[in-house]
Amino acid sequence: MSRVKVGIIGSQFEADIHAASFQIMPEEAEVVAVASPTEGHAAALAERYGIPRVFRDYREMLREPDIEMVTITAPNRLHAQMTVDAANAGKHVVCEKPLCMTLEEADLMIDTCKRKGILLQYAEELFFTPKYLKAKEMADHGAFGKIYLVKQSEKHFGPHGDWFWDVEQSGGGVFFDMGCHGIAFCYWFLGRPAIKTVYAQMGTYVHRDKTRGEDDCICVIEFADGAVGMVENSWARRGGMDDRVEVFGEGGCSYANLHMGNALATYSEYGYGYAVEKAPTTKGWTYPVFEELWNYGFPQEMRHFARCVRGKEEPRSTGEDGRVVLECLYAGYASAGRGAKVGLPFRPRGVAKPIDLWLETGKEQTK
């Protein structure tokens, strides 16, 4: 059976990860095209990874008959339209996180893909992160008994790409950008129980000169099975990328640290090529990681998506997952505005972007 032909929409940080991931695990898929409006960027990516076709308009790329799957790495506000266009062109979709800006968009994406018989796959790589899969394997085996608390945290000192800082384009700050990982993780780890309530504490502590978005957030989620999820995120934490999971059950606990917890403890007077995502330096004490993409699970994730297109596996991360996460993000922003936990289902009308639920009502409380 031939390899799935893939087109990538976008040419920046995430697009590079997708292209590299398909190359690391090449047996199920190959990238045949890339589309990006910024002249030169798509061509550069294409050259880096030997991608034969380059487009400036993704809609043109969608007309290529051999492409079976597109991956969307464009800014959040474009996800919905691109997904609808791809579905209408008969292409399976892999959409980066967060799924989109509003619940209305999420519904449209899900409905359109369903109607067109298209797979809408949600790119939550934490479902494929090897170290975290081991935590889930142990949990599912009963190692911890009944779990009452799951924590997921991702922190660094601020995003790639200028558009992240502009909430008009991004839809929110670090909670929207990275909290979506933690929410998805806790939800999936616990076996997708209904979310009952969400509470979030957020503020713009360090980067007020750059953004109206929150740069640090603590979010507490109550699930219907009685467990609690805690999601911590920061764009204000110095020292390089930090990603952790903690699991607590009546019978045990586990601590998984994806960066310092895998790395080589290293001291260098002279520095070297690369330590870890967003590391400030390679001199002095550093914690270089190895095979970074593989340890995040990106190649495994992309391989899975291709296999799903071929019917070899059942989708593990869908538009519906992305929609649950988005509803929880809505509730988190509203909670931060109100200073109170917000119950689900939660579907306020007229939301232009999630962060408005905080910015418009409550930010002054956190000053």
Q: How far is the CB of 36 from its own copies (least distance, A)?
A: 28
Mind giving me the DSSP string for 37-64?
Answer: SSTTHHHHHHHHHT--EEESSHHHHHT-
Q: Which is nearer to its own copies, 144 or 164 (CB)?
A: 144
Q: How far is the CB of 225 from its own copies (least distance, A)?
A: 11
Q: Which is nearer to its own copies, 212 or 338 (CB)?
A: 338
Distance CA 83, CA 108 (A): 9
Q: Which is nearer to its own copies, 55 or 235 (CB)?
A: 235
**Angle of helix 13-24 versus helix 298-309 axis, rounded to 10:** 70
DSSP label at 133? H
Q: Which is nearer to its own copies, 79 or 136 (CB)?
A: 136
Q: How far is the CB of 69 from its own copies (least distance, A)?
A: 19
Q: CA–CA distance from 217 to each of 102, 236, 243, 331, 343 (Å)?
A: 20, 10, 14, 13, 19
Q: How far is the CB of 275 from its own copies (least distance, A)?
A: 9
Q: Can you say whether the dihedral through the CA atoms of 296, 306, 12, 72 is positive or negative?
A: negative
Q: How far is the CB of 207 from its own copies (least distance, A)?
A: 9
Q: Which is nearer to its own copies, 55 or 358 (CB)?
A: 358
Q: CA–CA distance from 199 to each of 330, 356, 367 (Å)?
A: 11, 16, 18
Q: Which is nearer to its own copies, 122 or 199 (CB)?
A: 199
Q: How far is the CB of 345 from its own copies (least distance, A)?
A: 17
Kind plus residue range of the DSSP H or E element containing 293: helix 292-296
Distance CA 356, CA 353 (A): 6
